[in-house]
Amino acid sequence: MDELLIPDTAPPPEYRVLARKYRPASFDALIGQDAMVRTLGNSIRRGQLAQAWLLTGVRGVGKTSTARIIAKALNCVGPDGQGGPTIAPCGVCEPCVAIAAGRHIDIVEMDAASNTGIGDIREIIEAVRYAAVSARYKIYIIDEVHMLSTQAFNGLLKTLEEPPPHVKFIFATTEVQKLPVTVLSRCQRFDLRRIPAEQLAAHFAGIVEAEGATADAEALALIARAAEGSVRDGLSILDQAIAHGSGNVEAAAVRDMLGLSDRGSVRALMGLMLAGDAAGALAALGGQLDLGTDPAMIVQELLGLVHTVTRAKVAGDAPDPAMSAEEREAVQGWASTLSFPAVHRLWQLLLKGLAEVQTAPVPGQAAEMAVLRVIHASSLPDPGELVRRLSERGDVSDAPVMPAAERPQGATVQQLREPAPAPEPAPLPADFEALVRLFETRREPRLAHLLHDEVRVVDYAPPLLSISGSAMLPPDFAQRIMACLLLWTATRWTVTMIQGGVQGAAAPTMHEAAEARVAAERAAALADPAVQEILAAFPDAELTDISYEQPRSAADA
């Protein structure tokens, strides 16, 4: 009799999301963290292992995965069971397999978000006294360690500084600034970097091929850009995109899935805005809003386009592989025709518009008003060009009056609106320090402070001044300096702000120079033989201040 055919009723294997399936299991599979891998590899080869490591970075860059790889590297015994710590764990020995499966008894993973108190840390303190059961090192991995309470941190300090030789700690956090300095000083810190979009796109292409799916380059570039440097976020989006397209990932489908506006539509909208076509721009914006595109996303795409144009104008960056030929042509055209003040003004207006869209009760209306504001500003003359034209004409009667909050003290509206009655030419400051003193004596403490602490001089040749500054400087800093100097010296100055400074050419700020002088004086004092003898005789003594004996007068001599 024929055997009965029993149907296979075994359940299909459980699907694993891409973020878990392609989680790196070795340092070779960890992308974008070459500096950390090199440092750890050298430490393991030389046997110079820290008692604690701190892994920081944004979500999804591999902090917890790196912690598990370190645990395997320290406890791997090799296929023959005779190996030692290695930067390339075998992955087949019992410790490697158990750690990868999360079941090794000596590798303890703890989530600080749900174990925040001193009681949880006390359990660790009690357990570290006992040797590892089967591993070479007992390792405690504490994720989101910044969530521990102050008492928990304090209770951990002594054990963290002097743990038993068989114990290692690995901390992971996304908010390293919340950790006490006492904890930071006891750890070897590694800052895991965001993964560049190009590297993410290449990584996703390999995964798509391994999954038997297909994807075009533009779709992968869009996913990589949306991931914002996070591998896990990108894999989650890729997983969704593969399901959305039934194994075929296309750029249009990714845009629809993510709610991204079409890049061609964004370029068209930007062109209408720059041309001052208000009606056309509102119609183009309305068409995107009707398709369900998030208004904030549209403004963000406009900001990204302005950023791309600015980079192309400054450094002629290589085009983004995700850009089409039409987009490259448009970007290069705008980069060659728009001035730096124009692109900076575009950026500031759109940035302000984005904040309004994100907080407005009706975001679509806020986006329309932001577009109209940009169009209105495009028809206005550049402030620097306006000042130049008025200076050439010698007519400032129609010039706008500086706001009262930004007006030099002692200056009236009449003085700022009408030409000054030919004042006596004041001597120009001989050097930059004299210029700063001028602002101090004229009761402009805010500008004097910024000149002293935040400004680096590239070139000083009165009435020409080239400077670079920090982000603390207001956008109109150069204009305010020129207005004050014109009022006080009766000379028109040209103050040039050099973005990012000139490598090796900018002098240190006056604040930095003063600190360097103090440090040099302190070093010279500490090197004095008499001071060294005093410190040797009194080990607890500390040099707190330096004063110099006043020279004696002729009468005292």
Contact between 67 and 172 under an 8 Å Cβ cutoff? The reply is: yes
Report d(CA 26, CA 69) in Å as an integer: 6
Segment 202-226, tens digit of pLDDT: 999 999 998 888 998 888 988 888 8
> What local confidence, expressed as pLDDT, does residue 107 receive?
92
**pLDDT greater than 50 at residue 412:** no
Count of C-beta atoms within a 10 Å radius of residue 315: 8
Query: Residue 447: pLDDT band by 50, 70, 90 thresholds?
Result: confident
- Could you give the residue ranges of the DSSP H alpha helices within 394-476? 413-417, 432-441, 445-453
> What local confidence, expressed as pLDDT, does residue 96 receive?
92
Instruction: Please return the burial class of 535, using the count of CB atoms within 10 Å of its CB with bins 0-12, 13-18 and 19+.
Output: middle
Segment 157-207, tens digit of pLDDT: 989 988 899 999 999 999 999 999 999 999 999 998 888 888 899 999 999
> What local confidence, expressed as pLDDT, does residue 420 receive?
42
The token pair that represents 60 in the structure block: 């999804």
Rounded alpha-carbon distances, angstroms, from residue 481 to 445, 450, 486, 494: 13, 11, 9, 9
**What architecture is the 263-378 domain classified under in CATH?**
Up-down Bundle (1.20)
Percent of the chain with pLDDT over 70: 83
Reduced to 3 states, what is the DSSP secondary structure of residue 171?
Answer: strand
Query: Residue 71: pLDDT band by 50, 70, 90 thresholds?
Result: very high
526 or 435, higher pLDDT:
435
Q: 18-191 and 197-258: same fold?
A: no
Query: Residue 381: pLDDT band by 50, 70, 90 thresholds?
Result: low
> What local confidence, expressed as pLDDT, does residue 484 receive?
86
Mean pLDDT, the chain, as a whole number? 81
AA identity, residue 286: G
The token pair that represents 242 in the structure block: 């593969």
At the top level of CATH, the class of 18-191 is alpha beta
**pLDDT greater than 60 at residue 315:** yes
Count of C-beta atoms within a 10 Å radius of residue 442: 18
Mean pLDDT of 240-266: 79
Reduced to 3 states, what is the DSSP secondary structure of residue 142?
Answer: strand
Contact between 269 and 247 under an 8 Å Cβ cutoff? The reply is: no
Contact between 60 and 231 under an 8 Å Cβ cutoff? The reply is: yes
Report d(CA 154, CA 160) in Å as an integer: 10
State which H helix or E strand residue 108 sits in. strand 107-111
The token pair that represents 73 in the structure block: 């590297």
Report d(CA 17, CA 20) in Å as an integer: 6
Mean pLDDT of 280-303: 89
**pLDDT greater than 60 at residue 255:** yes
**pLDDT greater than 60 at residue 152:** yes
For the chain, what are the domain ranges?
18-191, 197-258, 263-378, 393-497
The token pair that represents 152 in the structure block: 């928990």
Mean pLDDT of 277-302: 89
Identify which of 380, 403, 421, 425 has the alpha carbon closest to the alpha carbon of residue 483: 403
What topology does CATH give the domain 197-258? Helicase, Ruva Protein; domain 3 (1.10.8)
Segment 479-536, tens digit of pLDDT: 888 888 888 888 888 888 876 544 445 778 888 888 888 888 888 888 888 878 887 8
Segment 82-128, tens digit of pLDDT: 888 988 898 899 999 999 888 899 999 998 888 888 888 898 889 99
